[in-house]
């Protein structure tokens, strides 16, 4: 397990109170953000992707990455049995090596959150959190009433974290207030969760927002509405997490922290399958938001297959020999 | 930092450097006629890399003679045949790029990340690009004005290049010269001779005819002897404005063609509506790429007052992430300064900035005990009256000035004897066009900086020189577009150079 960097505790913030901004205020604020130059952003991401992470740094980063995985299954075919297997793997990713860290969370649909909670407790890893996707995931096409009920269900089933989707249609049509209000409402539903409430991750589905300017606006919109995490994608749409978009979101959380003192986490999800890619993301976190974000409290990977490659690379680094997929448990 | 990157050095053993090298003349390596030689050292640790021959007047004579002898045959080759050699050289450069990147990093001190990702890809790209032109010169829109015939090569090109991008500057010079049918005598910089000597080996590997490319290593004296040699038809120089002026005086009154690519004091102008995060990257790239040892560096940052504090805070945070150290480490961002002389000049100017009252800042960074190092440095509170705002520093030193209106930005940007590069940062397209039109600089980048491509012409004016390198424009510097049709019968009478220029008059010298 990597030494946890010094960072404030992961306590979710209290629910947002006070009055909501007006549509005009939101609009002028979001449109007043500095633009994003796509070429420059992608060049910076490509530059950071050339960092060479070797030996001790690699060992540290692989363990850190494992500890940041939200091990995910979001299929119509999910069953209690499948989720139990996933939880067992999250609790002990490498049964042959007890020094392997557990993952940060398992991520499931709300109806399986209770199963996950039980399975993790049974596996002796109650510290692994249960994240449930909600608010008519993945499209977000439902009434606010249904979305809130969805989130409430998840929290009632014991979810420690709620991954909500924004209404991309409302966002793209300029109805920022609707998006803002939905996030606030779901945040309030999360308050019923354990302790200070479930942590809220807000998913943008970057591929549908289409431009970097939109991603930056969505980031600020979500953070102001009370998001604890901002997340790139559902994983259900092509063109999920990308390094440049994640870099941009890390700039946003850095800027928000500088402006308000509130730290928000970032979760790229979808399409990150290789350990090498995960290390690139960690480099981008390190050199953009800073080392304070290099903890499962503030950075996550939404992934399923990634864990297998992280474990194989970890094994390779420890033993010098590459074991192969047969030596890693399937979910 | 919690996430410390472990050392990730590129292997030194990728390149085998011989204990000594001769001059490359007429397809062979040979000792200097008077037997002189000098050491070239690695600026990162001051260790000697090799001993190279020091060319004197006699060697210059031999090299020019070899180039002269090779010229008629080379110029007479069909363009497609010349292209084959250039394509072959380009491919070998790609195949040997790892080796050459390590070599360049050792001899120059710049990070392997840059030689690997910037220098070497560009070197090969230049050869590929100009190889493509070799058989299309008649269609380059460069007809001779006198009677509309196709352009002709000039003859022997004397090329003197600097130490900041040794192999890339070689490519910028050699590729267009060969594509247009000229032959070359090239002198690499005294502190970075090795990659040019490896290039000589590549010429042999590509079976380039002897004498088409000749490499003379040496110092300023060697360069002076080369450019003043009467057998030279064309002089191309990249380097300091002071030496450029000396060369211009030297060739004045003769009929040598001259192109000069000299110093600069580029302004990077950040408007309040700029994409700020990318502007920070552009400022870092503009002034700290290659340790700031770039003629087109954006060494003056002009930032609009309304965003100055925000931008500077972001810039300082970003500079704190720069990694200075072993140039061979793949994670190094800032390498060594090329020579003690250059380090002394940077130090002197930076001290002058402080003495004149500008506020000096550097991120916390430990300099290695061996070698020539200078921490990235930012000066704020700089005015047009400070030396650091006027003189080219050629090091990792950024001078920050502020402005209030676009007019003031343009006036300050243009308030320099140089005119090589400038950058504009704004999300407003119309402002880019309006400001670019008013900036007196050969290259104006918009929302980017230090972006190079072989298809794009590069060059400056005023004290930054004249002539263009790269692109179709780069052909012009190596072509005769004005000369009248030489009298075939009378060509020999004009002895030597004229005879050779007419092509195939072997008896002309």
Q: Do A40 and B321 touch (CB under 8 A)?
A: no
Q: Where are the domains of chain A?
A: 36-319
Whether B8 and A50 lie within 8 Å, measured CB to CB: no
pLDDT in tens, A122-170: 999 999 999 999 999 999 999 999 999 999 999 999 999 999 999 999 9
Q: What is the pLDDT of residues A97-126, one digit of tens each?
A: 999 999 999 999 999 999 999 999 999 999
Contact list in B for residue A64 (CB cut-off 8 A) is: 3
Same domain, B190 and B302: no
The closest CB to that of B275, out of A34, A55, A287, belongs to A34
Q: What is the largest CA-CA distance in chain A?
A: 60
Interface-testing mutation among B277, B280, B363, with chain A (most A C-beta atoms within 10 A)? B277
In a domain, B473, yes or no: no
CB pairs under 8 A between A and B: 75
Residue where one domain finishes, among candidates B392, B427, B446: B446
Distance in Å, alpha carbon of A253 to nearest chain B alpha carbon: 13
C-beta neighbour count of A325 within 10 angstroms: 10
- Is residue A199 within 8 A of residue A160, CB to CB? The reply is yes
Residue A208 has a pLDDT of 97
- Would B43 be classed as within a structural domain? yes
Please report whether residue B309 resides in a domain: yes
Residues B156 and B288 in one domain: no
* C-alpha distance from B29 to closest chain A C-alpha (Å): 38
Q: B85 and B117 share a domain? A: yes
Orientation angle between helical segments B97-108 and B79-95, nearest 10 degrees: 70
User: Looking at the domain assignment, is residue B453 inside a domain?
Assistant: no
Residue B103 lies in a domain: yes
Q: Which of A186, A210, A207 is nearest to A198 (CA)?
A: A186
Inter-chain CB proximity A36 and B277 less than 8 Å: yes
Residue B294 within a domain:
yes
Asked about A187 being catalytic, the answer comes back as no
pLDDT in tens, chain B (509 residues): 479 999 999 999 999 999 999 999 999 999 999 999 999 999 999 999 999 999 999 999 999 999 999 999 999 999 999 999 999 999 999 999 999 999 999 999 999 999 999 999 999 999 999 999 999 998 898 877 666 677 899 999 999 999 999 999 999 999 999 999 999 999 999 999 999 999 999 999 999 999 999 999 999 999 999 999 999 999 999 999 999 999 999 999 999 999 999 999 999 999 999 999 999 999 999 999 999 999 999 999 999 999 999 999 999 999 999 999 999 999 999 999 999 999 999 999 999 999 999 999 999 999 999 999 999 999 999 999 999 999 999 999 999 999 999 999 999 999 999 999 999 999 999 999 999 999 999 999 999 999 999 999 999 989 999 999 999 999 999 999 876 554 333 333 233 333 333 333 333 32
- What was the ipTM of the complex prediction? 0.91
Query: Do B3 and A64 make contact, defined as CB atoms within 8 angstroms?
Result: yes
Q: Which of A52, A53, A291 sits opposite B2 (nearest CB)?
A: A291
Q: Distance between the two ends of chain A, CA-based, in angstroms?
A: 22
The reply to whether A163 belongs to the active site is yes
Assign B235 to helix, strand or coil.
Answer: strand
Answer yes or no: do B229 and B366 share one domain: no
Residues B244 and B284 both lie in one domain: no
B168 burial (CB, 10 Å; 0-12 / 13-18 / 19+) is: buried
Cβ of residue A75 closer than 8 Å to a chain B Cβ: no
pLDDT at B485: 53
Tell me, what CATH number does B201's domain have?
3.40.605.10
- Enumerate the H helices of B96-236 as residue ranges: 97-108, 112-114, 120-133, 166-179, 194-205, 220-227
* B18 Cβ under 8 Å from any chain A Cβ: no
Amino acid A296: pLDDT: 98
Domain boundary among B426, B446, B466: B446
Domain count for chain B: 2
Among B10, B104, B295, B476, the active-site one is B295
* B272 close to A (CB below 8 A): no
Q: Could you tell me if residue B463 is inside a domain?
A: no
Same domain flag for B393 and B351:
yes
> What's B381's domain CATH number?
3.40.309.10
B431 touches chain A (CB under 8 A): no
Same domain, B162 and B295: no
| Containing structural domain, residue B347 | 267-446
Write down the catalytic residue from B261, B392, B463, B476. Answer: B261
pLDDT (average), residues A41-61: 97
C-alpha B172/C-alpha B178 separation (Å) is 11
Question: B288: which 2 tokens?
Answer: 């700290």
Residues B227, B276 share a domain: no
A36-319: CATH, from 3.20.20.140, 3.40.50.2300, 3.30.9.10, 3.20.20.70: 3.20.20.70
What is the Cα B113 distance to its own chain's centre?
18
């Amino acid at each position: 397990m990597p030494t946890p960097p010094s960072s404030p505790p992961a306590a979710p913030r209290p629910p947002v109170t006070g009055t909501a901004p007006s549509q005009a205020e939101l609009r002028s604020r979001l449109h007043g953000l500095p633009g994003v130059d796509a070429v420059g952003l992608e060049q910076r991401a490509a530059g950071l992707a050339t960092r060479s992470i070797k030996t001790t740094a690699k060992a540290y980063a692989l363990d850190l990455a494992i500890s940041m995985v939200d091990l995910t299954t979001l299929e119509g075919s999910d069953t209690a049995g499948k989720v139990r297997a996933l939880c067992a793997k999250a609790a002990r990713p490498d049964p042959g090596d007890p020094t392997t860290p557990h993952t940060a969370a398992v991520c499931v649909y709300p109806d399986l959150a209770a199963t996950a909670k039980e399975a993790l407790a049974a596996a002796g890893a109650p510290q692994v959190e249960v994240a449930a996707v909600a608010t008519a995931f993945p499209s977000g096409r439902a009434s606010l009433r249904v979305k809130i009920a969805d989130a409430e269900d998840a929290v009632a089933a014991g979810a420690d974290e709620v991954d909500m989707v924004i209404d991309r249609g409302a966002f793209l049509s300029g109805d920022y207030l609707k998006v803002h209000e939905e996030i606030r409402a779901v945040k309030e539903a999360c308050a019923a969760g354990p302790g200070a409430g479930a942590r809220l991750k807000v998913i943008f589905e970057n591929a549908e927002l289409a431009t970097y300017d939109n991603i930056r606006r969505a980031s600020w919109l979500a953070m102001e509405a009370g998001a604890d995490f901002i997340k790139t994608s559902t994983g259900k749409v092509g063109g999920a997490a990308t390094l440049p978009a994640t870099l941009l979101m890390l700039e946003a959380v850095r800027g928000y922290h500088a402006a308000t003192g509130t730290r928000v986490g970032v979760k790229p999800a979808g399409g990150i399958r290789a350990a090498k890619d995960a290390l690139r993301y960690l480099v981008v976190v390190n050199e953009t938001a800073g080392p304070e974000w290099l903890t499962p409290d503030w950075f996550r990977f939404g992934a399923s297959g990634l864990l297998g490659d992280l474990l194989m690379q970890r094994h390779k680094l420890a033993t010098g020999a590459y074991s192969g997929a047969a030596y890693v448990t399937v979910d | 930092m919690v996430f410390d990157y472990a050392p990730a050095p590129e292997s030194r053993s990728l390149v085998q450097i011989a204990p000594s090298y001769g001059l490359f003349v007429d397809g062979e390596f040979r000792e200097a006629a008077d037997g002189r030689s000098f050491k070239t050292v690695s600026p990162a640790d001051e260790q000697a890399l090799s001993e190279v021959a020091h060319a004197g007047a006699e060697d210059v004579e031999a090299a020019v003679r070899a180039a002269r002898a090779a010229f008629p045959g080379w110029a007479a080759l069909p363009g497609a045949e010349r292209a084959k050699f250039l394509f072959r050289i380009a491919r070998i450069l790609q195949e040997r790029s790892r080796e050459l990147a390590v070599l360049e990093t050792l001899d120059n001190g710049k990070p392997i990340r840059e030689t690997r990702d910037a220098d070497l890809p560009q070197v090969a790209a230049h050869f590929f690009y100009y190889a493509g032109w070799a058989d299309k010169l008649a269609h380059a829109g460069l007809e001779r004005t006198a009677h509309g015939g196709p352009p002709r090569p000039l003859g022997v090109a004397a090329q003197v290049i600097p130490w900041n991008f040794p192999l890339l500057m070689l490519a910028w010079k050699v590729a267009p010269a060969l594509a247009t049918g000229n032959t070359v005598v090239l002198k690499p910089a005294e502190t970075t001779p090795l990659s040019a000597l490896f290039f000589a080996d590549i010429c042999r590997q590509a079976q380039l005819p002897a004498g088409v490319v000749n490499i003379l290593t040496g110092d300023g004296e060697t360069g002076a002897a080369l450019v003043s040699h009467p057998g030279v038809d064309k002089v191309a120089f990249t380097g300091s404005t002071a030496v450029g002026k000396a060369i211009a005086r030297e060739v004045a009154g003769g009929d040598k063609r001259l192109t000069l690519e000299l110093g600069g004091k580029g302004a990077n102008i950040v408007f309040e509506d700029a994409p700020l995060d990318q502007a920070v990257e552009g400022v870092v790239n503009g002034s700290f790429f290659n340790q700031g040892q770039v003629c087109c560096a954006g060494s003056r940052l002009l930032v609009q007052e309304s965003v100055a504090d925000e931008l500077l805070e972001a810039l300082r945070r970003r500079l704190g992430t720069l990694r200075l150290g072993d140039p061979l480490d793949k994670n190094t961002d800032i390498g060594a300064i090329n020579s003690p002389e250059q380090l002394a000049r940077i130090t002197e100017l930076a001290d002058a900035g402080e003495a004149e009252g500008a506020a000096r800042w550097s991120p916390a960074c430990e300099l290695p005990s061996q070698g020539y190092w200078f921490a990235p440095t930012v000066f704020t509170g700089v005015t047009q009256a400070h030396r650091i705002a006027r003189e080219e520093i050629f090091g990792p030193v950024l001078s920050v000035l502020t402005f209030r209106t676009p007019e003031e930005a343009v006036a300050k940007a243009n308030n320099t004897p140089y005119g090589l590069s400038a950058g504009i940062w704004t999300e407003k397209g119309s402002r880019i066009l309006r400001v670019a039109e008013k900036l007196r600089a050969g290259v104006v980048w918009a929302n980017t900086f230090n972006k190079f491509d072989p298809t794009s012409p590069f060059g400056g004016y005023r004290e930054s020189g004249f002539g263009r390198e790269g692109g179709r424009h780069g052909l012009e510097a190596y072509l005769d577009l004005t000369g009248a049709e030489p009298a075939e019968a009378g060509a020999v009478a004009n002895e030597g150079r004229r005879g050779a220029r007419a092509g195939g008059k072997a008896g002309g010298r």
